[in-house]
Amino acid sequence: MIRAPAGGTFGASRKLLFRFEDYVLDTERRELRRAGAQLAIEPQVFDLLEFLVRNRDRVVSKDDLLASVWGGRIVSESTLASRINAARRAIGDTGEEQRLIRTIIGKGIRFVGEVHERQYQSPARPVVPRLSIVVLPFANFSDDPELEYFADGITDDLTTDLLRISGGFVIARNTAFTFKGKPIDVKKIGRELGVLYVVEGSVRRAGDLLRLNVQLTDAESGAHLWVDRFDADCVDLARAQSEMTGRLARAINFKLVEAEGLSIEQERAFHPDPHDLLIQGWAALVRPISAATLQEARRLFERVLEIDADSVAAKVGLAHALSGNIADGWSTSVQQDEARAEQLLLEAIAGDANSFRARLALGLLRRLQNRLDESRIELETAIALVPNYAPAFGQLGMTLICLGEPAAAIPVI
């Protein structure tokens, strides 16, 4: 046991907003936020984190922590260690990585992240990010405990896949799981987490089938935007989980993009910002393809590049539209469109080598150029980056057919 020296707390310190990475520590409202969304954090863990951030210019000893956070009370080593670990988890850090909270052996700990602080002012209502979503823990409506793990796995994987696919703001699973087993008030959850959309669902066994019910809800109005049901065989739960997650992520992603595209058209017809233009561009691409929708997508992505010439997302979107024009025979200058699409995609990959959308678009373009081996490599790379994105498998199947490998294409398709 450690006995802390007598001392006061830091509660009387001036009220500040501390910003580090994409987190905000609000000492007036006692909130930890990330990208506008409030994160769940225990009061004592908040105090510990605040103390570390305020004293980031020095190594803080255990005695310092006990005096300031625990008010001089006796606390066990294990309790102290668990609170430090909880503070790390709250800001996406670990004891192994120590990216923000570093242990100095024999001395104490120190907050080492770059911090910007400003005097607290009454905050305006936070701006909710576009394409912001939380996947609530799926409910298990059966007596089978194995399906409890299955339901949690669906929630985990869907959260990850939506983050990869949508490029939007997805609430972390640890925060989402604080709502597990609790009554669901979608509007309240939207306000608390700062999201526009909520996904919720349930799993039940129906004979030899697993039945997954899911719905996407507008958190502001409470209206259901989309509901669906998916069935899979109970024999192989791991395979069922992978298949269901992929289908869910793709369907929800399309609905999100469509909903936000329509919302932006209505709200910001004259002065949209670049992110809004990007969403509108992708919304045009997920509609039924026509010469008109591709032309609209090109116009929107061109506008983004006029504002931000380095936008990877806009380059990829424009290349997708150009390639679609070529593939469907609507291009009036195939060579010119090919050359521009290739330049855009190579620039995009140079800016973000892990952009699966860029790899997917380049795979399509390489097939149009009859560079089939390169097409295969790019499409396999896209699948490795996002294993559950169905269009990548479809494009790879087409490339394998063009390579004269129909037997290899069948399982991919």
Tell me the range of 88-97, 254-263, 384-393, 400-409 where mean pLDDT is highest: 400-409
% the chain with pLDDT above 90: 25
Pick among 1.10.150.530, 1.20.1260.10, 3.40.50.720, 1.25.40.10: CATH of 265-412: 1.25.40.10
pLDDT tens by residue, 77-113: 888 888 899 999 999 998 888 999 999 988 899 999 8
Strand partners, 103: 109
What is the arithmetic mean of pLDDT over 383-411? 92
Distance between first and last Cα of the chain: 62
Greater model confidence, 38 or 410: 410
Q: Work out the pLDDT band at 328, boundaries 50, 70, 90.
A: confident
- Closest C-alpha among 253, 233, 250 to residue 150: 233
* Alpha-carbon span 375 to 405, nearest angstrom: 14
* Alpha-carbon span 160 to 152, nearest angstrom: 13
**In contact, 315 and 345? CB cutoff 8 Å:** yes
Q: Is 289 exposed, middle or buried (0-12, 13-18, 19+ CB in 10 A)?
A: middle
- Closest C-alpha among 250, 275, 279 to residue 162: 250
CATH topology (fold) of 16-118: Arc Repressor Mutant, subunit A (1.10.10)
Q: Is 68 exposed, middle or buried (0-12, 13-18, 19+ CB in 10 A)?
A: buried
What are the φ/ψ torsions at residue 106 (nearest 5 degrees)? 80, -5
**In contact, 249 and 231? CB cutoff 8 Å:** no
Question: Contacts by 103-109 with C-beta closer than 8 Å and gap 24+?
Answer: 104/59, 107/59, 107/61, 108/59, 108/60, 108/61, 108/62, 108/64, 108/65, 109/52, 109/59, 109/60, 109/84
* Alpha-carbon span 181 to 163, nearest angstrom: 24
Give all strands (DSSP E) within 105-161, no chain letters.
108-111, 116-119, 132-135, 139-140
- Closest C-alpha among 380, 386, 336 to residue 362: 380
Domain ranges of the chain: 16-118, 132-263, 265-412
- Closest C-alpha among 389, 126, 130 to residue 279: 130
CB neighbourhood size of 61 (10 A): 13
pLDDT tens by residue, 349-360: 988 888 888 999
Greater model confidence, 59 or 123: 59
**In contact, 252 and 199? CB cutoff 8 Å:** yes
Q: HSE-up of 179 (CA within 13 Å, CB side)?
A: 25
> Do 16-118 and 132-263 come out as alike in CATH topology?
no
What is the arithmetic mean of pLDDT over 269-286? 71
* Alpha-carbon span 195 to 25, nearest angstrom: 19
Q: HSE-up of 409 (CA within 13 Å, CB side)?
A: 14
The contacts of residue 191 (CB under 8 Å, 6+ apart) are 219
How high is the pLDDT of residue 353? 85
pTM of the model: 0.43
Superfamily of domain 132-263: ABC-type transport auxiliary lipoprotein component (3.40.50.10610)
pLDDT tens by residue, 188-212: 888 888 888 888 888 888 777 888 8
What is the arithmetic mean of pLDDT over 244-262? 63
* Alpha-carbon span 230 to 239, nearest angstrom: 14
